Structure 1
């Protein structure tokens, strides 16, 4: 898929809302990545993004992603911050602002035979390199958690990084890799729990050790005291293009930030998108054992749970809470429907009211690994919704002002 395809924009405007503001220039494929990270700085002026000059294929080891910062108060001017050779279409390179900082951002890269992370200062232009790649940052800004991205790429192509083979690709459950904690200042890192340890933990009373195991989708609780990740496994290795389409088993795991007090938060096998609501609760799409599929609020280290938005939020999406709304407002999206339209919406929990922000067409060439989910995320003040979309024919970034809807 080349750039500059002739295309008629297709989107449906949300009631009473202006058209979304595009903040990228259509000259390249531009996007941010995942929905659970800070794209916008605390002041609301600068948005992070990445861009590359092709679409419609997997990255090659030599394809570099350009990392940039967009000045939302100066005609959306793009300023380059650096490059990355460790990226994918769904989560880019884990680009994000370091929590609590208005000057430092982080992303993953490849140096020689290692994946690393780079911390850049947008004021001084200085950079420093940490010896491990990051997945999620602690809200206190002190540490990150990570895992082996070459392992992810080996077992779920498109969610890891090409360029470095999995050194344990012949091992079903390596003891050398797993969940790693990284100090953001010193770069000191330690393995908190290995894939081998998790593989030895029975699943619903059954031995699952004779499978191919990996970790995915890591998060840190709001108080930086608990960690959350998905432990996944598949029974056999297949061709990458086949594995990208075939299923696997999932269980959601939590544990203390020192690796203790492990808890299987969702053993159902259906854990999907999730965020922490507060230090004790996880807001997730799943199908709990004996319950209906939907969004659920799970209490950590407990069997307590209750559904959220069961009348309206009836399909899987990328769910977050809108900041500064006392967790009353949820931001969410859908996957493309039969007409390939994606709905972007807000949901008000107290009144069970849905507010549709827009419907955005996803052209047919955007499928599989190089699909473009909206992955909606708010700025840190909860005033604007930023999202990636292909409704104008290429992958670009947009925002909508929601202050009049949520009162931020």
Structure 2
């Protein structure tokens, strides 16, 4: 079925290609039948491969080279001595593995922040540990030239020269699986330190400036009763498409850090100006910038059910997205097709049959297209679970997911969705 036929079908009163049966337990909507999409696994054992989070550039500007982490074990926490490989797959040459380096600063959910640098055709970066500090390696994959910046990074601005970051030592102290082993948080006995928080980094000079502290976040806005005696930290930073602002999640754990975490979503200028509590609900989870002004996030706004909502930055405007359709939390992005607002790529966590579903949501017609089901054996739980974290290619026509393969552990899967999105 071609894209024009799909659009015609989903808007028709009687659509022959639509199934009236129930989707997997983690979705709740009428669905287009799963297409026979070209799919292949592009990494192989005996080592295991994965990329991690869903909001980084995994594909190079030509969509030929696909970045990956490589590890020799699974199903336990990383230790200080554990080193993993960094490499890329050449999909234009029989999926050849090309080693690029190693790192001792990594976690199961987000890897080592490995990604292609915007505005640089051949440049990648990742975090590492060197002595008593975390650092960032920047590599030209064509020349082999490498340099080190004396700070780890979290998210890059579109100019490829600016980054934002926070303290991975504190993240590790607060929620293992997202920080890095090997270095202790120097502020571990402080509830809301004033010299730790959000830094802006110059990737050329390596200089960094603290632009907003954890203490400032804890005292900004109306607050929440659960903050009393809570321990605070930042996580999940992402710069806006125009490079002017960044999102970060302000999280706190009551009872001095022993309770279950709560979350507020902030946006702020890269210079620390104009901080704004965009979602004060305490419930923000996965999010993505749709464009320079709007953010789509899974949350539960006051008086509203759990769901995906579209927030307009620096305002109290919020509206549901995919209500009754995208009914479960997932890792959501907008495909760069058309004006960039037509297609949402998303996934689900394992249902009771341990199946994760990757799907597309067509915003104009409010229909779901199931891309694929990926089994996740029960051993993939907790800190070392293997979320699919679907990521798209630069042209938006290919998806890469992380998922276990029988007898090979987690590996990278490529899915061609060009017939769906055009």
TM range (shorter): over 0.9
- What secondary structure is seen at the aligned counterpart in 2 of 1:134? coil
Counterparts of 1:381-392 in structure 2, within 5 Å, are 381-392=395-406
Aligned to 1:20: 39
Q: Which residue of 2 aligns with 1:106?
A: 125
Residue 90 (structure 1) aligned with residue 109 (structure 2): yes
Contact 2:37 2:371 in 1 (8 A): no
Q: How many residues align?
A: 389
SS in 1 for 2:282: coil
Is 1:285 the counterpart of 2:304? The answer is no
3-state SS, counterpart of residue 419 of structure 2: helix
Alignment of 1:324-403 (within 5 A): 324-326=337-339, 327-393=341-407, 394-403=409-418
- Which of 392, 405, 408 is matched with 2:420 structurally? 405
* 1:268 corresponds to 2:265: no
Q: Residues 35-184 of structure 1 correspond to what in structure 2 (within 5 A)?
A: 35-184=54-203
Q: Are the counterparts in 2 of residues 251 and 267 from structure 1 also a CA contact under 8 Å?
A: yes
In the alignment, the residues of structure 1 paired with residue 52 and residue 374 of structure 2 have an alpha-carbon distance, to the nearest angstrom, of 17
Question: TM-score of the superposition, structure 2-length normalised?
Answer: 0.90
Report if aligned partners of 1:117, 1:132 keep a CA contact under 8 Å in 2: yes
| Aligned counterparts of 1:207 and 1:351: Cα–Cα separation in 2 | 40
Q: Which residue of 1 aligns with 2:309?
A: 296
Once the two structures are TM-superposed, the CA of residue 205 in structure 1 deviates from its matched residue by: 6.1
Q: Does the 8 A contact of 1:60 with 1:162 survive in 2?
A: yes
Could you give the per-residue CA deviations for residues 45-75 of structure 1, whole angstroms, max 9, x where no partner exists?
1000011100010011010010001101001
What is the rounded CA distance, in whole Å, between the counterparts of 1:202 and 1:279 in structure 2? Answer: 23
Counterparts of 1:356 and 1:234, CA distance in 2: 36
Q: Tell me: CA distance 1:252–1:179, structure 2 relative to 1, closer, same or farther (3 Å).
A: same
* Distance of 1:97 and 1:305 partners within structure 2: 32
Which whole-Å CA distance do the structure 2 matches of 1:156 and 1:202 have between them? 24
1:322 aligns with 2:335: yes
* Separation in 2, partners of 1:236, 1:47: 43
Q: Runs of 5+ in structure 1 lacking a partner?
A: 1-12
Paired with 2:224 and 2:381, the residues of 1 have a C-alpha distance of 37
TM-score, scaled relative to structure 1: 0.93
Aligned-residue Cα RMSD (Å) equals 1.5
Contact 1:200 1:208 in 2 (8 A): no
Structure 2 gap ranges (5+): 1-31
Tell me how far apart the structure 2 counterparts of residues 392 and 345 of structure 1 sit (CA, whole Å): 22
